[in-house]
Amino acid sequence: MGDMMSPAQRSRTMGHIKGKDTSIEVALRKALWHKGYRYRKNYKALPGTPDIALTKYKIAIFCDSEFFHGYNWEIKKLRLGENRDYWIKKIERNMTRDRENDFALLALDWIPMHFWGQEITKRLPECIGAIEDLIFELQLQTFDDIMEENRD
């Protein structure tokens, strides 16, 4: 079945979808800032342009919307109605690109973290806790590395 909107209408509608400073990004950033973590936002120096980059810890955080990044994709793609082929191709390409960016970040010794929008909206303290747990683990590794160097 074809698109119900003209190409100009569809373009205008899609143009209103925010790519930066979404409500989920702002909520996560505010919570991190309140906890004393400083970050770069939409950090173009890294693959995938992470929404939040904790440069001190080399953590790249992505705030992913459920629709565009394929949350529960195998079930959701069966329910697509309008312009099904277009959306399947687009969302699967987004998912592939996300994986490619994660591998590229890992190759640069950065750790990618992804949070779904509903996780941030409904369980923000748990998201912050997951980030803090990772930071703690990284600090322990650094401490262990320093201790190991001093033993030699």
Domain-embedded: residue 8? no
Per-residue tens of pLDDT for the chain, all 152 residues: 456 767 787 667 666 565 678 999 999 999 999 999 999 999 999 999 999 999 999 999 999 999 888 998 988 888 888 788 888 999 999 999 999 999 999 999 999 999 999 999 999 999 999 999 999 999 998 777 777 777 76
**Domain encompassing residue 124:** 21-147
User: Which phi and psi (to 5°) does residue 71 adopt?
Assistant: -60, 130
Domain-embedded: residue 16? no
Domain-embedded: residue 14? no
Residue 142's pLDDT is what?
Answer: 76
- Residues for the chain: how many in total? 152
Q: Whole-model pTM?
A: 0.82
Residue 1's pLDDT is what?
Answer: 45
Domain-embedded: residue 15? no
Domain-embedded: residue 7? no
H or E element: which one contains 41?
strand 40-41
Residue 17's pLDDT is what?
Answer: 61
Q: Shortest CA distance to 105 belongs to which of 24, 21, 49, 144?
A: 49
Indicate which CATH number applies to the domain containing 29: 3.40.960.10
> Within 10 A of 102 (CB to CB), how many other CB atoms are there?
19
Give how many domains the chain has, as a whole number. Answer: 1
Domain-embedded: residue 37? yes
Domain-embedded: residue 11? no
